[in-house]
A and B are shown apart, each in its own frame.
Chain A
Amino acid sequence: MESEILDKNVQFISTSGVYKTPFTLIIVLQLYVGLLITIFANLWYWNNLYYYFTNQIIFPFPINDSLIERVFFICLIPLNIYGCVFLFVFSIILFSIVIFKILDKLSPPKEGNFFRDSKEWKYVHRKFWTAYFPIWLARALPLPWADIFAYRFFGVRIGKNVVLYEGYVDPYFIEIGDFTMTSLNICIFSHLIYQDRLFIQKVKIGDACVVGPQTIVAPGTQMDDRAILGANSYTSIGQKLESDLIHVGTPVNIKLPLQSVEDSQEKATKIKETTIKKED
């Protein structure tokens, strides 16, 4: 099994993708639930507003009709729009978490190597499609921590003070420690699809790590505390990145020591001097 997993081919090809299944229609259900909850929560308020503007009553709710209340209700419109957006997104997130947990109960998440049309393959696809819409929405919200919030609910362990704004992260089998920073355009995969095989292994990122821009963290990667993954590099499956070192390469094969700011400045001036001498 192990040798099959660490197949030479799979080592340096990190792709990700999930096929569309009929279960994808869950998105319509999620949209339905989210929209209906927001509409029915606001029906009473909108009914009032409609009455103020047109003098007609749509739904038989009690109506407050005095000048102060009119002004007050109309002033609340901007707040209501904000509230609706958040209610919509968070009700969808909560609803899809319920589905996600049910799917987890039906088929507990497992690491390993699975073939097409096995039970795990099916359930992994189902779980991905339940997580698709809420995370899309959380990303579309103008709040930077909304997607972290959603990921935490789905079971990704994310510590405090984590920077995780832009990038692709799988919704399970990922652990990120406190004070970790990730940069732009990263991909953290805990799954990999290769021909007709699906491969899942846990990704663990320690405390105070830095994941550089444009990097790919392949399934099975273990980053120790304070390890740094340099820009434009990717890790191979099951790689360990040691702490207090900078790791660079495609896939990672070079280790560089960490330097203080003074040290690196000294080095830079030295290099400058030598190049000036050479030019002379």
Chain B
Amino acid sequence: MFQPASLKGDSPTPIDENVRKKFIPIYLLVIILSFVPVSILEYYIILYLWRTPFYLMFVLLFPLNLIILIYLLQFSATLISFLFLKTVNLIHTPKEGIFERNIKDKEYYFWNLRNIIKKWPLYVAASNPFPWFKNRFTLRFFGVKIGKHTLCDNTWISSEFVKIGKNVILGMNSTILTFGIEQDKFILKRILIEDGALIGAKCVLLPGTVVKKKAKLGAHSYSEYDFILKEDGLYRGHPAKIID
């Protein structure tokens, strides 16, 4: 769908400034490495097509060239950050739980590091002008499980600890958060959305929410921490409560 400009960016992740300062070289390295295949391909296209008999061919193939470049950039960015992510996860495996919001806490530190690595591919995917292989494709690489026929391209989904089933409709502009920052506590919890669930526009799911099969959440409502939406239930409100 034609999303508003605010949704053209990636999902908001409040990365700690102290960690960000340290790992800016890694962030830049992901960007630079992702441009390498793009520039190699473009170099060969120009080398072979920018010649006397082929000028018109180059011009006619330019739109196709542009599409390929955009997707190549997205795929290479995803792959490279995926490799970085795997190495980081080998050093420290991600865990759920409640932690201190302090860089000395290892979980919090590595959560920030993972998000720095994932930022560039998620940004490229979200600002891709074409509707194919968007956020869902990139998120699947990072371990988010998303089922078939799920509408999720115009929502903000956190990039880990999320599992979404088949035939789910996620409304426009809703947010799925698996992290919560409560003053000096940092919370990481899994979110599970089962098959056939329906979530309205501009909803917020806080960490620990479980949406059972065919449960429905009305527009503009948010769910509390560790809230369970029962099967076939209809929920609404701030925070969400069951209706009849």
Contact = CB atoms under 8 A, between A and B. Distances in A.
A214 B202 contact: yes
Given A12-B218, A128-B1, A17 B131 contact: no
B3 interface: yes
B80 to A, nearest CB: 26
Contact of B4 (A9, A19, A185): A185
Main secondary structure of the interface of A (DSSP, over half): mixed
A133 interface: yes
Given A166-B6, A216-B219, A9 B234 contact: yes
A198 to B, nearest CB: 12
Nearest to B152: A17
Interface string A210-246: 0000101010000000000000111000000000000
A133 to B, nearest CB: 7
Residue of B6, B202, B216 with most partner-chain A CB within 10 A: B202
Contacts of A233: 220
A24 B130 CA distance: 9
B55 A58 contact: yes
Given A28-B67, A35-B63, A36-B60, A16 B238 contact: no
Contact of B1 (A9, A18, A184): A18
B4 A139 contact: yes
Given A19-B151, A35-B63, A216 B202 contact: yes
B66 A35 contact: yes
Interface of A: 9, 12-20, 24, 27-28, 31-32, 35-36, 39-40, 43, 58-59, 128-129, 131-133, 135-137, 139-140, 166-168, 184-185, 187, 189, 193-195, 214, 216, 218, 232-234, 250
A172 B56 CA distance: 39
A17 B151 contact: yes
Contacts of A35: 62-63, 66
B129 interface: yes
A187 B199 CA distance: 15
B60 A16 contact: no
Given A16-B201, A24-B132, A168 B3 contact: yes
Given A32-B63, A131-B2, A13 B219 contact: yes
Given A15-B199, A19-B151, A185 B173 contact: yes
Contacts of A185: 4, 6, 173
B200 interface: yes
Contacts of A189: 201
A15 B3 contact: no
Residue of B62, B172, B201 with most partner-chain A CB within 10 A: B201
A216 B238 contact: no
